[in-house]
Amino acid sequence: MNTVTVVGLGYVGLPLACLCAEKGNKVYGLDTDKNKVDLINRNQSPISDDYLTSKLKSLKNRIRATTNAVECIPSSDVVVVCVPTPIDKNNLPDLTALMESISTISKFIKQGTLLVVESTVYPGTIEEVVAPILKKQGFDAYKNDVFVAHCPERIDPGNKRWTIDNLTRVVGGITKEATDKAAEFYRGIVNANVIELSGVKAAEATKIMENTFRDVNIAFVNEMAKSFDRAGIDIIEVIKGASTKPFAFMPHYPGAGVGGHCIPVDPYYLIEKAKQIGFNHKFLSLAREINNSMPHYTVELLEDCIHKLKKTIKNAKVGVLGLAYKANVDDTRESPAFEIISILKTKGADVVAFDPYVKNLSNIKDLDGLLQKSDYIILVTEHDEFKNMDLNMLKKHKVLVVIDGRNCLDKEKIKSMGILYHGIGRS
Ligand SMILES: NC(=O)c1ccc[n+]([C@@H]2O[C@H](COP(=O)([O-])OP(=O)(O)OC[C@H]3O[C@@H](n4cnc5c(N)ncnc54)[C@H](O)[C@@H]3O)[C@@H](O)[C@H]2O)c1
């Protein structure tokens, strides 16, 4: 049994803390957010997530959350850092939370502790940013005063097939001993392979590559969707067709925009770092540009339909379905919904928005209320409640146009009711 402190109790840190407790470790959670800490100490999840809600209930106070590093870091054998690594308004990496948390940890950590960073970072961060902060407090990571490693988190919130427990992990340390210690720790908590890489940079680069792979493939399919739409070809039918090839094709799907704390963020980490060492990631930058264009494209689709009806977007009553960045979660970070709403408002539309997972940011209380108030609909998030809605409600509430930003509605049925339908790459 280890004493483990998880630093940052969010979408990544909280499931990890639960897993460590379940596997018999003594677990602390350190976070700067007092509300989160209080909720967790009452066995309540600060995140709307069935898995976390039931885990916290069944673990009954086996995670001690605190805002005070003195309470947990000095007694910990393992410290795992899961703080946010966002971008700033110029799309540059913002390592403030990482640097602040490491600085706090370095003041209280004991010799020989395993310190793992799970937060996504650009290759080089652990050696160039984390190690020097530890050095200031007299800990030389190259001499194993503290064993420092990176183990990128791969969790996909809401995914029931692949969970924190069964996802293969990769680890890389500043030293071979740190790699070995980190691998041993993860082998003790996950029911999956733990792969040891040659070093910390390889581990950092692995995560950035995984998420950048997603971003460029989504950009590719978004571009195909725009092109095929002009040619009157349904992209979903084409993806289905191409997916029948048993090798060398992996389906990705077009949509109203890429959101979340990872896919639209991580490529910028690499783009910026590479720039500093003299490499220009043209392809990655273009992918970001294409994906960033999707909220505008989605609103343009609506405008085209409105013009077909000889009406204008000014004062149009538009209902936006979904604020979260993906299906059946409450996470709104980098969600395209907010940009879509902002573009609509700039054009003078009268906008209502509803998300069953994000009620505090919805300005109408339910789906029925939204449909009642809207002549035009843009579906941004593929929540089950929207995907499975009774489409007859559209007719009942006299909806004129449906823009299906996730291609998840029955287009033929909608069209058969005399409603204009346009998806992303299908109409
Ligand atoms: N969300 C995902 O699906 C996902 C998946 C894989 C990797 N990641 C990566 O994991 C990291 C964490 O992401 P997340 O989604 O869990 O973020 P989050 O915002 O949900 O949680 C981060 C937590 O850290 C806390 N925090 C901030 N500064 C702190 C500090 N100085 N000391 C202690 N706590 C602090 C915040 O209060 C918050 O509770 C990021 O680097 C992200 O890129 C996220």
The stretch 195-215 carries a mean pLDDT of 97
Calculate how far, in angstroms, residue 83's C-alpha sits from the geometric centre of ligand 1. 4
pLDDT value for 363: 96
Which domain CATH number covers 337? 3.40.50.720
Mean pLDDT of 351-372: 97
Note the pLDDT of residue 262.
Answer: 95
What total number of domains does the chain contain? Answer: 2
- Averaged pLDDT of the chain: 97
Same structural domain for residues 176 and 318? no
Q: Give nearest CA residue, ligand 1 atom 9.
A: 119
Among 198, 219, 235, the domain boundary falls at 198
Residues 174 and 307 in one domain: no
Summarize the confidence of residues 190-198 as an average pLDDT: 97
Answer whether residue 247 is part of any domain: no
* Percent of the chain residues topping a pLDDT of 90: 97
Mutate to test the pocket of ligand 1, among 37, 45, 82, 87 (most ligand atoms within 8 A of CB): 82
Task: Domain of residue 411: give its range.
Answer: 292-423
Q: Write a three-state SS string for the chain.
A: CCEEEEECCCCCHHHHHHHHHHCCCEEEEECCCHHHHHHHHCCCCCCCCHHHHHHHHHHCCCEEEECCHHHHHHHCCEEEECCCCCECCCCCECCHHHHHHHHHHHHHCCCCCEEEECCCCCCCHHHHHHHHHHHHCCCCHHHCCCEEEECCCCCCCCCCCCCCCCCCEEEEECCHHHHHHHHHHHHCCCCCCEEECCCHHHHHHHHHHHHHHHHHHHHHHHHHHHHHHHHCCCHHHHHHHHCCCCCCCCCCCCCCCCCCCCCCCHHHHHHHHHHHCCCCCHHHHHHHHHHHCHHHHHHHHHHHHHHHCCCCCCCCEEEEECCCCCCCCCCCCCCHHHHHHHHHHHCCCEEEEECCCCHHHCCCCCHHHHHHHCCEEEECCCCHHHHCCCCHHHHHCCCCEEEECCCCCCHHHHHHCCCEEEECCCC
- Per residue in 298-327, pLDDT tens? 999 999 999 999 999 999 999 999 999 999
Task: State the distance from the centre of ligand 1 to the C-alpha of 44, rounded, in angstroms.
Answer: 18
Residue 160 in this model has a pLDDT that exceeds 90 = no
Residue 245 has pLDDT above 90, yes or no: yes
Residue minimizing CA distance to atom 23 of ligand 1? 8
Q: Kindly give the number of the ligand 1 atom that is closest to the alpha carbon of 155.
A: 5
Is 188 found in the same domain as 296? no
In a domain, 258, yes or no: no
Asked if residue 169 is part of any domain, the answer here is yes
Structural domain contains residue 95? yes
pLDDT score for 394 = 98
**Atom 3 of ligand 1 has which residue's CA nearest to it?**
156
Ligand 1: lining residues by beta carbon, under 6 Å? 7-13, 30-33, 36, 82-85, 97, 100-101, 118-120, 153, 155, 157, 261-262
Q: Does residue 151 have an active-site annotation?
A: no
Q: Of the residues 20, 151, 262, 305, which is catalytic? A: 262
Q: Is the pLDDT confidence value at 157 over 90?
A: no
pLDDT beyond 90 at 2? yes
- 359 — pLDDT class (breaks 50, 70, 90): very high
What does the pLDDT average to over 406-422? 98
pLDDT in tens, 18-62: 999 999 999 999 999 999 999 999 999 999 888 899 999 999 889
Position 77 in a domain: yes
Domain boundary among 176, 198, 220: 198
Kindly state whether residues 167 and 51 are assigned to the same domain: yes
Band of residue 154 on the pLDDT scale cut at 50, 70, 90: very high
CA-closest residue to ligand 1 atom 33: 31
CA of 414 to the centre of ligand 1 (A): 40
pTM above 0.85, yes or no: yes
Q: How far is the CA of 111 from the centre of ligand 1 (A)?
A: 26
Q: Is residue 211 part of a domain?
A: no
- pLDDT number for residue 49: 87
In this prediction, residue 61 carries a pLDDT of: 87
Q: Could you tell me the distance, in angstroms and rounded to a whole number, from the CA of residue 261 to the centre of ligand 1?
A: 9
Closest ligand 1 atom to the C-alpha of 8?
A: 24
Ligand 1 atom 28: residue of nearest CA:
97
Q: Please, which pLDDT band fits residue 387 given cuts at 50, 70 and 90?
A: very high
Q: Please identify, among 148, 163, 198, the residue that sits at the C-terminal boundary of a domain.
A: 198
Residue 287 lies in a domain: no
- 174 and 47 inside one domain: yes
| pLDDT per residue as tens digits for the range 74-113 | 999 999 999 999 999 999 999 999 999 999 999 999 999 9
Going from the Cα of 369 to the center of ligand 1, the distance in angstroms, rounded, reads 34
Supply the pLDDT for residue 161: 93
Domain assignment present for residue 259? The answer is no
Q: State the pLDDT at residue 60.
A: 87
Please give the average per-residue pLDDT across 386-409, as a whole number. 98
